[in-house]
Structure 1
């Protein structure tokens, strides 16, 4: 079997999407153990959409630039925007 280096996924990509999958599963697992977490289908769909947009934006940033500093800045900005939207949806942080 011949494999090329192009067929392997970069470690950052596996970590990124793996973290997103775990983050999406966490509330479902928490609901099995406590009544404090009560998500419905809409909550999972919104959070999944947020993760998809954030991870997709990070992948795009990684493809568009090769400079480490630019990648770090993009990652921090994307993470900050993700957390800001999440906090706003959870508790109305900006109201």
Structure 2
């Protein structure tokens, strides 16, 4: 059985693992060109998402409500993640 502490550790370790992918890409190939600001923004987004998911997981009692809220949080993360480099919606925080 996985304990609450192990689940929390896994939730906060996932952003680190995800940030290692572009870090390795920067080191190995020239196709991925992330600056320190890119890593900072990605870290802020991923760790904020991990914090919110962990908060909802600990505060919400109903399983269905917990899953729905976590899906909404991940959807917002995906929309922001897509918007920043591609500017699908033309928002002012997209960089241009």
- Matching of residue 43 in structure 1 with residue 43 in structure 2: no
Residue 9 of structure 1 is aligned with which of 2, 5, 9?
Answer: 5
Mark the CA change 1:8 to 1:64 in structure 2 (over 3 Å): closer, same or farther: closer
TM (norm. structure 1) is 0.83
Which residue pairs with 1:71 in the alignment?
Answer: 66
4+ residue runs of structure 1 moved beyond 2 angstroms?
none
| Structure 1 residue runs without a partner (length 5+) | 1-6
Q: CA RMSD in A?
A: 1.6
Query: What is the rounded CA distance, in whole Å, between the counterparts of 1:64 and 1:8 in structure 2?
Result: 13
Alignment length (residue pairs): 88
| Structure 2 residue runs without a partner (length 5+) | 91-96
Residue 27 of structure 2 is aligned with which of 17, 32, 38?
Answer: 32
TM (norm. structure 2) is 0.82
Query: What is the rounded CA distance, in whole Å, between the counterparts of 1:8 and 1:55 in structure 2?
Result: 15
